[in-house]
Amino acid sequence: MNKTSIAASVLGLALAGVAGSALAAPDWSKAQARKVTVFHPGASGLEWIMKGTEHGGARGLSRGETCIGCHEDEKTRKIDIDTDKILKGVKLEPKPLANHVGSIPVSVQAANDGTHLYLRFSWKEPKGGAEKMDKDNPVKLAVMLEDSKVVAKDSKGKDVKIGVAAGCWGTCHTDARTMPGADDKKTKYVAGGSLANGQFYDLMQWKSGKGAKPVDGHVADKRVMEGGKALVSAVGKKDGDTWTVTFTRKLAGGAGDIALVSGKTYNMGFAIHNDHAAGRFHLVSFGYSLGIDAKADITAAK
């Protein structure tokens, strides 16, 4: 076979692979969508949430209740959080935020093909004009997955499965960077976290900046923005005023990747850095259950 034939064969295999991937993509018109409201949380780290004197829901968390059990209206899918006061610096936010939005409704869908998990997020971009904290990325979207092993201590020292109750809040601490008065070098972390004992979150992130690479990492004793083996792709696009971001992830991965199994449920939280936001000035979700061929808040069916 001459060089021209070899090149043509290689190109043909590559195109076949692309076509195969395209055919494997889910039919999103058949995947149920759940409306999830992301909101600005201010400086409400895990310690504030678990301290019963400042957060009335701390007692419920100790009883095994979830954040959305109190905060989400099941009929309207709205979140009961006074983001207006937070943005104005009246509560939970020492820095008043001009032109930031308090919340965004997001449509979340999931599917799987027996080998891969697909997650799709879609929302309308609100009016902007806030301070450009991240000049390179107008928008970022991060997802964290957890396997019901991360715990936090309540005011009486009792273990609370915080991944189940509050999603990625188990990584958000009042002494982490961008929090008021915190060390600017300290990243998100899990108290007592380690990959060996399963006390970690699986992290994926898409960035809108030109040439920006997706993140496939984890959060254990610190946040690591690389090393994961499960993420296949993270793709985002803007159509008119609507953003759509889709993650394709292998069900099985390596160290730092939560192994996803059909018939099981996991915990998921996500955050959107909108309008060039950075650090804690993102819009976050509460925790939701993600089922792989299993009933959950969000189900990834075949």
- In order of their start, the domains of the chain are 30-300 (2.60.40.1190)
Is 4 or 103 the better-scoring residue by pLDDT?
103
Residue 277 tokens read as: 């936001």
Q: Rounded distance, CA 90 to CA 95, Å? A: 9
Q: Residue 122's beta-bridge partner residues?
A: 107, 244
- Whether residue 23 has pLDDT greater than 80: no
Closest to 228 measured CA to CA, from 199, 268, 208, 200: 200
Compute the mean pLDDT over every residue in the chain, rounded to the nearest whole number: 90
Confidence class of residue 95 from pLDDT cuts 50, 70 and 90?
confident
Q: Residue 301's beta-bridge partner residues?
A: 111
Confidence class of residue 24 from pLDDT cuts 50, 70 and 90?
low
Q: Residue 292's beta-bridge partner residues?
A: 300
pLDDT digits (tens, 9 = 90+) for 260-298: 999 999 999 999 999 999 999 999 999 999 999 999 999
Report the pLDDT value the prediction gives residue 54, as an integer from 0 to 100: 84
- Whether residue 258 has pLDDT greater than 50: yes
Report the pLDDT value the prediction gives residue 83, as an integer from 0 to 100: 92
Confidence class of residue 219 from pLDDT cuts 50, 70 and 90?
very high
Report the pLDDT value the prediction gives residue 2, as an integer from 0 to 100: 47
pLDDT digits (tens, 9 = 90+) for 27-68: 999 999 999 999 999 999 999 999 888 888 999 999 999 999
The percent of residues above 90 in pLDDT, for the chain, comes to 82
Q: Which amino acid is at 125?
A: E
Closest to 230 measured CA to CA, from 218, 212, 216: 216
The H or E element spanning position 69 is helix 67-71
Looking at residue 30, what DSSP letter applies?
A: G
- Whether residue 154 has pLDDT greater than 80: yes
- Asked whether 50 and 67 are in contact (CB, 8 A), the reply is no
Q: Rounded distance, CA 246 to CA 262, Å? A: 20
Closest to 203 measured CA to CA, from 143, 292, 119: 143
Query: Residue with structure tokens 């104005």?
Result: 88
Q: Rounded distance, CA 292 to CA 302, Å? A: 8
- Whether residue 255 has pLDDT greater than 60: yes
Closest to 134 measured CA to CA, from 273, 300, 291: 273
pTM: 0.90
Report the pLDDT value the prediction gives residue 21, as an integer from 0 to 100: 42
Q: What is the largest CA-CA distance in the chain?
A: 77
Of the given ranges (9-13, 95-99, 190-194), which has the lowest mean pLDDT?
A: 9-13
Report the pLDDT value the prediction gives residue 79, as an integer from 0 to 100: 80
The percent of residues above 70 in pLDDT, for the chain, comes to 91
- Whether residue 166 has pLDDT greater than 80: yes
- Encode burial over 127-148: b for 16+ CB neighbours within 10 A, e otherwise: eeebeeebeebbbbbbbbbbbe
Strand pairing report for 215-219 and 151-153: unpaired
What are the angstrom distances between the C-alpha of 89 and each of 21, 40, 43, 44, 97?
A: 47, 12, 10, 13, 7
